[in-house]
Every structure is written in structure tokens, then in C-alpha cells.
């Protein structure tokens, strides 16, 4: 008789408990709130799908979602190629490696609110280095009043803060490529571009998948930095979903609509993350995958 040792389940118990208390129970509570109304004191009134209808029909929600998508698209379009480019040009051996790695890691060690504060001061026309320099060059830059300048500042800040992550991931992928690949390419007379296209890029695919997913999810959920730098302004120009959500839940104490918005926000992130993951890993694994249509004559 075949015996199965089930003791391993106890090893995953701590993780299950952690996920349960940090993710599942809060998520269930948000779902419960999204179909009710409350005025505090744990007194709730059934509202059905009212809050979902309200959120889905509000221009405020769609505008914030559009801003989020645009921000993530810009961030990914800049940070991924830039990160790979920097990683390709970093030294592979010698004392320069440690210097580069430390320099790259520095922005990642700074807390989000500090990054926001740094850039809030940095961009100011009166005392900030960036704002003052641009003004001295005759460029009309004011992130407090101009939506384009506010976006420029936020994108620049995010690129400064997070490109390092892509660099470190890509660098880790690059140093793991065996020298034999480069030697073979050299014997074949492959150009620099060909080496990148046929050796480095395929070998980087997995780490880039992680980089894209991490940067997408992080940029899509961005809150602290824009809140500190622009506070969502000027007007609503940089009001992303997370800022809008906090305003609704904490500022206005509209817990029902905020919960409905949270659920929709969560579903959008889940869908887009799944699409990214699927597209980027569709050629990985499952080598034995069976395609019934290919069997047909």
C-alpha cells in the first residue's frame, strides 16, 4: 500500500496564516463593505450594487484609471530599455562592479515619502536645483501649476527611483550567461547587435518578465511619491486611482464606494498582471502541452 507523508503541509501553514491575515481577510472585508453603506460604529446598511454602478458611471474613476494606465505605460517604456542598456554597459569584473552596484542600489534604499520630499524640493523654482536651473535656462517650468510639468517631474522621479531595480535584475541575468555563448558568437563573427538579439535578450527573458511585472504593479499602485510631490494636482492632473481611493475612503469617509473602487482596481491589476505574465512566458515551460487542433487533418 502506498503511504503518503502529509507532514509537509505543516511547513506551509505559517505562509497560509500570513496570507490569510494580510490578504484574504482584508479582501473579504472590502467585498463586504462594497455592498453596504456605513456611518460608523459598525452599523451597516445593504446597498447592493449601488456603489459599483456609481463608480463605473463616474468620470472621476475612468479619468484616474486612464492616468494610471498612461503613467505605467510611460514608466515601462522608459525604465525597461534604459535598465537593460545600463546593465549592458556595466563592468563585469574589477573594482568598478562593486561601485556600480552600490550606486545602483542607493535609490532603492530610500523610502517612498523621502523620495517624494526630495523631488518636491528639487523641482521647486525658488530653491530646488532642477526648478531653478530650468528657470535660469529660460524654460517655463512649474510643476505646481502646469500639468505637463507635474507629469514630467513624476515620470523623472520614478525613473530615477526604480530604473535601478531593472538594472540590477538585468545585470544578474547577464552575469549568469556562460562565457561559452560569447566565445561561440565570437567564432561565428556575430555582431554586437546579434549577440544582444540572439544570446543576451533570450537569456534575460525571465528576469525581464519579473522586472516588467514588478514595475507595472508598483507603478499602477503608486501613491506616496505623487501624493507628496503634487498632491494629485494641479487640479486632478496627477490624481491616480490610489490617491482618489484614499481621498474617497479617508477624506470623505465614503467607505462603500471606496470599497467598490478597490475591488475594481484590484481586478484590473489582476487582469493586466495575468496578461503580462502570460504573454511573456507563453513560450516557457509546458513543453508537453497538447494542442488538440494540431492533431486535426
Partner 1 sequence: MPDLAWMAWTPETAVFFAAIALLLVLMILWGRLDPRNAPRKGILGIATQRGDRLFLSLLSAAFIHLAWIGLAGGWPLWGALLLSVVCAAGVFRFV
CB nearer to partner 1: pick between 191 and 278: 278
**Smallest gap from residue 282 Cβ to partner 1 (A):** 5
CB nearer to partner 1: pick between 292 and 297: 292
Q: Please state the separation of Cα 18 from the chain's center in Å.
A: 23
From 162, 161, 141, select the one nearest 152 (Cα to Cα).
Answer: 141
Q: Which three cell numbers stand for residue 292?
A: 488538440
Helix residue spans in 137-252 (DSSP H):
147-175, 179-187, 192-195, 201-220, 224-229, 241-246
**Smallest gap from residue 166 Cβ to partner 1 (A):** 25
**Smallest gap from residue 147 Cβ to partner 1 (A):** 28
From 132, 125, 123, select the one nearest 150 (Cα to Cα).
Answer: 123
Q: Compute how many other C-beta atoms are within 10 angstroms of the C-beta atom of residue 146.
A: 15
**Smallest gap from residue 144 Cβ to partner 1 (A):** 35
CB nearer to partner 1: pick between 28 and 73: 28
Backbone angles phi, psi at 288, to 5 degrees: -90, 10
Binding site for partner 1 (CB under 8 A): 25, 28-29, 31-33, 35-36, 38, 42, 44, 46, 49, 52-53, 56-57, 264, 267, 270-271, 274, 278, 282, 285-286, 288-293
CB nearer to partner 1: pick between 7 and 290: 290
CB nearer to partner 1: pick between 69 and 82: 69
**Smallest gap from residue 218 Cβ to partner 1 (A):** 21
**Gyration radius (Cα) of the chain, Å:** 24
Amino acid at each position: 500500500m502506498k503511504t503518503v507523508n502529509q507532514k509537509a503541509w505543516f511547513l506551509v501553514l505559517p505562509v497560509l496564516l500570513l496570507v490569510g491575515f494580510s490578504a484574504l481577510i482584508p479582501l473579504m472585508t472590502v467585498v463586504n463593505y462594497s455592498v453596504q453603506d456605513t456611518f460608523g460604529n459598525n452599523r451597516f446598511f445593504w446597498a447592493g450594487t449601488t456603489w459599483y454602478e456609481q463608480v463605473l458611471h463616474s468620470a472621476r474613476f475612468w479619468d484616474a484609471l486612464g492616468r494610471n494606465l498612461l503613467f505605467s505605460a510611460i514608466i515601462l517604456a522608459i525604465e525597461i530599455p534604459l535598465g537593460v542598456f545600463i546593465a549592458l554597459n556595466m563592468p563585469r569584473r574589477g573594482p568598478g562592479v562593486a561601485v556600480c552596484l552600490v550606486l545602483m542600489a542607493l535609490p532603492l534604499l530610500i523610502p517612498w515619502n523621502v523620495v517624494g520630499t526630495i523631488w518636491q524640493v528639487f523641482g521647486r523654482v525658488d530653491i530646488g536645483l532642477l526648478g531653478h536651473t530650468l528657470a535660469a535656462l529660460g524654460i517655463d517650468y512649474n510643476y505646481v501649476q502646469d500639468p505637463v510639468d507635474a507629469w514630467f517631474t513624476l515620470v523623472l522621479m520614478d525613473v530615477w527611483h526604480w530604473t535601478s531595480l531593472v538594472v540590477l535584475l538585468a545585470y544578474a541575468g547577464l552575469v549568469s550567461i556562460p562565457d561559452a555563448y560569447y566565445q561561440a558568437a565570437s567564432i561565428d563573427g556575430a555582431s554586437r547587435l546579434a549577440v544582444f538579439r540572439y544570446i543576451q535578450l533570450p537569456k534575460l527573458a525571465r528576469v525581464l518578465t519579473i522586472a516588467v511585472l514588478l514595475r507595472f504593479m508598483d507603478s499602477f499602485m503608486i501613491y506616496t511619491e505623487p501624493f507628496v510631490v503634487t498632491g494629485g494636482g494641479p487640479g486632478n492632473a496627477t490624481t491616480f486611482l490610489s490617491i482618489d481611493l484614499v481621498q474617497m475612503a479617508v477624506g470623505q469617509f465614503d467607505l462603500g464606494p471606496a470599497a467598490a473602487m478597490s475591488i475594481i482596481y484590484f481586478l484590473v491589476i489582476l487582469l493586466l498582471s495575468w496578461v503580462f505574465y502570460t504573454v511573456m512566458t507563453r513560450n516557457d515551460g509546458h513543453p508537453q502541452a497538447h494542442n488538440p487542433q494540431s492533431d486535426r487533418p
